Structure 1
Amino acid sequence: MKSSKVTKAFMVLFCLVQLLSFSTVARATLINNGDFSSGLNGWNDGSFTGSVTENGGQAILSSGDSFDPFAAVLTQGDDGSFLFDSPIMVASNVSMLSVDAALVSTLLDPTELGGSAFSDTLFLAIYDAADVTFDAAFEIPALGNVAETFLFDMSDWLGREIAISFELADEDDGFNRSYSVDNVFFTFNNTPVSVPEPESFIMFLVGLTLLARCRKSA
């Protein structure tokens, strides 16, 4: 009987350790389909007057008729409702967000008057699920038709849940522009993430206490 109690205690402790490991994995950083090898799966298209398409393993954001600050929008981590049902968890060892981008084409837009001094511009927006004061937008100055790699410092969002959004602002400049986006992923530093969530520590300690009691009764 005593041996059976010890065996059960070990089984409970094993399950708690597995749960601890699972909770760490479940909160790991993940960008789904960042190379667009599965089309636009995992991404949300929130475009207005523009469009988002996939071509050759790249996302193509294009402006459309007239002008609109959110002509083409491609988001992951939120569906545009800002409810953040599937946010991206930024692990504590994330360093940078890497993005490849290029200017694909420039076409005349007869629906625009050409009164703006600014040209159509691609932005990366980062939206924080819990605090709008962490929201930020960065211009991606993709000037050539050869893809360049842009790196964005993620230190302000470590341990936070976010959405990332590529947004093409269509200016009244008389032109429509298309930009490519590809290879969207996080880079990591060399610091291992070994600190589980506080509630996981509590579960682990409960398991140890149970094991100690069973050994004592044995």
Structure 2
Amino acid sequence: MLKPIKYLLIFTILLLSNNSIASLITNGEFQNNINGWHTSGNVSVVSDNVVLKTDVGYSPFNTSILAQGDDGTFSFLEPITLTSDIKWLTFDIKVNVFDDFFESGLSTFDDVLRINLYDELDFTGASDLLFSSDNYSFLNTEWQTLQLDVGTLSGRSIALSFELFDENNQLDSIFELDNISFLGTAVSTPVSEPSTFLLLFMAIALIKNVKRSH
């Protein structure tokens, strides 16, 4: 009986040590309110989740931003340095959409959340954009985990920015985020989607599988 427990303990220690680099992100679980993050627009913390909202009515400047590594001035006073073992940016996300009749509905586009990584070494003079994700709009009203492959950015000093853009489509969006971290291994086996290396796993399905196994 002792050997299985010993092996389980060793496996657990290895797993935790492999994911210890998650500390590159400060307060990624938002248990300390918004500390460690820079915000702009409609951003708040509710029940240890950060919430980005579009405002009622439409303005081309209606953008909600959550960032770490830079305060929006591109001075990079406290950049995030991606060590050689970093492979993935992972976070939990949930989306809700509601009517906004103060918007005219002239736009055919949806409100979108974009994840950007900006490079501290600004070669172009325009705050180098190292990485920009696909536009996320109507994902799921249940929690799910997204993973982005950032393995090619090893050694870079960056700023991480979640940017929610409003559209004039008579709809407003609420994006909830939690457990933002950089990891050395994917949460599950990587599966690429067209045009991105985006891994999409529904958290609720994982919970059901765990319950079935017990």
TM-score by structure 2 length? 0.69
Q: What is the match of residue 126 of structure 1?
A: 117
Indicate the RMSD between aligned Cα atoms, in angstroms.
2.2
Deviations 1:3-39 (A, max 9, x none): xxxxxxxxxxxxxxxxxxxxxxxxx961000011111
Q: What is the match of residue 158 of structure 1?
A: 154
Within 5 Å, which residues of 2 pair with 1:33-44? Answer: 33-44=27-38
Q: How far did 1:56 drift? A: 0.8
Q: What is the match of residue 131 of structure 2?
A: 136
Amino acid at match of 2:27: N
Alignment check: 8 A CA contact 2:82 2:154 kept: yes
Within 5 Å, which residues of 2 pair with 1:42-191? Answer: 42-47=36-41, 51-64=42-55, 65-68=57-60, 71-110=63-102, 112-131=103-122, 132-138=127-133, 139-141=135-137, 143-189=139-185
Q: How far did 1:99 drift? A: 1.1
Amino acid at match of 1:129: E
2:87 partner SS: strand
More helix by share: 1
Amino acid at match of 1:143: L
- Check 1:153–1:106 CA distance in 2 against 1; reply closer, same or farther (3 A cut): same
Amino acid at match of 1:183: N
> Percent identical across equivalent pairs?
31
1:30 matched to 2:24: yes
CA distance in 1, matches of 2:139, 2:75: 34
CA distance in 1, matches of 2:129, 2:65: 20
Q: How far did 1:113 drift? A: 1.3
CA distance in 2, matches of 1:100, 1:142: 15
Deviations 1:134-188 (A, max 9, x none): 5222123552211111101112311010011111010111111111011100111
CA distance in 1, matches of 2:61, 2:113: 10
Q: Mind listing any 5+ residue stretches in structure 1 that lack a counterpart?
A: 1-27, 190-218
CA distance in 2, matches of 1:91, 1:35: 21
TM-score by structure 1 length? 0.68
Aligned residue-pair number? 160
CA distance in 1, matches of 2:182, 2:49: 17
CA distance in 2, matches of 1:81, 1:109: 34
